[in-house]
Amino acid sequence: MPGPLAHLTVIELAGIGPGPFACMVLADLGATVVRVDRLPGPPSRGGLEDLMRNDGIVDRGRQSIAVNTKDPRGVEAVLRLVASADVLIEGFRPGVADKLGLGPEACRARNARLVYGRMTGWGQSGPLAQAAGHDLNYIALSGALHAMGPADRPPAPPLNLVGDYGGGGMLLVVGVLAALAEAQRSGQGQVVDAAMTDGAALLMSAQYGLMAKGFWQDRRESNFLDGAAPFYGTYECADGRYVSVGAIEPQFYRQLLERCGIEDPAFQRQWAAGEWPALRGKLEALFRTRTRDAWCALLEGTDACFAPVLSMAEAPAHPHNAARGTFVRGEDGVVQPAPAPRFDRTPAQLPQRAPVVGADTRALLARAGYAAADIEALCAAGVVHAAEAVR
């Protein structure tokens, strides 16, 4: 049985970053995701879009129709698809989709139940709404970036996980599913304005709450979750590899001390922040006495809250990940994260790899009510592009 969203159809106006990630999640969970691609152009010189499009993972599980959305006939083709869809997702700057004739007003005139998901960095409103930006800029504005990294160096970019994917794409998925649930009651769709600045700020809720209570310092590496505490951090081992320790609760902290043979009374004052630098130094020296594998043999699987720091090449082969199927090998042989979360009655299946641009153009237009002759006329006029349906 396909995933729990097998009844949904999503129209994705192709882009990069958090919008495609949100659509990957929806496709992983069983939704039919139709990506509206631009017409293929001349070979590019390998810019960012080439790096992030059709990578076989974030773009997996789609159908593809290639359309010239600057041609009214192309816009009409997309609107016909929208008429029978449940969701549309776009990630343009505010106003761009509207100028194309594919904004919320035009789409919901064809389909009043449509949930229209808008993914941006700054949001649909505000003084920065029209400015360019990327993940790093959005999490900088939220207070999240300032809190990350060592105190004596600039804030450390957390890849693009906090803005693009956590505060962006995942928040958009939540918003879309919430709007769909409401539409079942009201019969009306609505616009979901998902902004990475909003989402990154939301992810910082615990830290803002702790700061309001006086339990969080507004500076890097000064708190129990940001690398200051000796019981919550990473340590280099004798072989140059790393381990992670997260023994926050007293019972777990005691087990860490016992298993490591630590009898120094200074370690009994776990929450004496003034002693943290000295205790961290002692733990650094201790962890350098054994290899990472040796520490794993001693601590992994215990309540000491321990795990090795694995590289991306190592992670898929770890016994726990292998047992759960956390990583899978796709039909193209690429090792990739499996769909998540897990469902006991409607389990998600690994979607097909990313489609060739325009691979489903003819089939999708036929489904939208176009006659075969009309489809060929659109192809001949360059309004749409139909590739061989090879994946």
- CATH code 3.40.50.1220 for 232-309: no
Quote the CA–CA distance of 290 and 239 in Å, as a whole number: 8
Measured distance CA(377)–CA(73) in Å, rounded:
11
Catalytic, 134? Answer yes
Bridging pattern class, strands 242-246 and 306-308: antiparallel
DSSP annotation of 153 reads S
- The residue extents of the domains of the chain are 9-202+331-385, 232-309
Q: Is 7 a catalytic residue?
A: no
Written as tens digits, the pLDDT of the chain (391 aa) is: 589 999 999 999 999 999 999 999 999 999 999 999 999 976 555 555 555 555 579 999 999 999 999 999 999 999 999 999 999 999 999 999 999 999 999 999 999 999 999 999 999 999 999 999 999 999 999 999 999 999 999 999 999 999 999 999 999 999 999 999 999 999 999 999 999 999 999 999 999 999 999 999 999 999 999 999 999 999 999 999 999 999 999 999 999 999 999 999 999 999 999 999 999 999 999 999 999 999 999 999 999 999 999 999 999 999 999 999 999 998 888 999 999 999 999 999 888 889 999 999 999 999 999 999 999 999 999 999 999 644 4
What separation in angstroms does the CA of 148 have from each of 155, 309, 370? 5, 18, 53
Same topology, domains 9-202+331-385 and 232-309? Answer is: no
Q: Which residue among the candidates 59, 86, 164, 360 is catalytic per the annotation?
A: 164
Q: How far apart are CA 56 and CA 40, in angstroms?
A: 18
Give me the pLDDT at residue 372, please: 97
From 55, 71, 134, 193, active-site residue: 134
Q: How many residues does the chain have?
A: 391
Relative to beta strand 115-120, strand 191-195 is: parallel
Q: Domain 9-202+331-385 classified CATH 3.40.50.10540?
A: yes
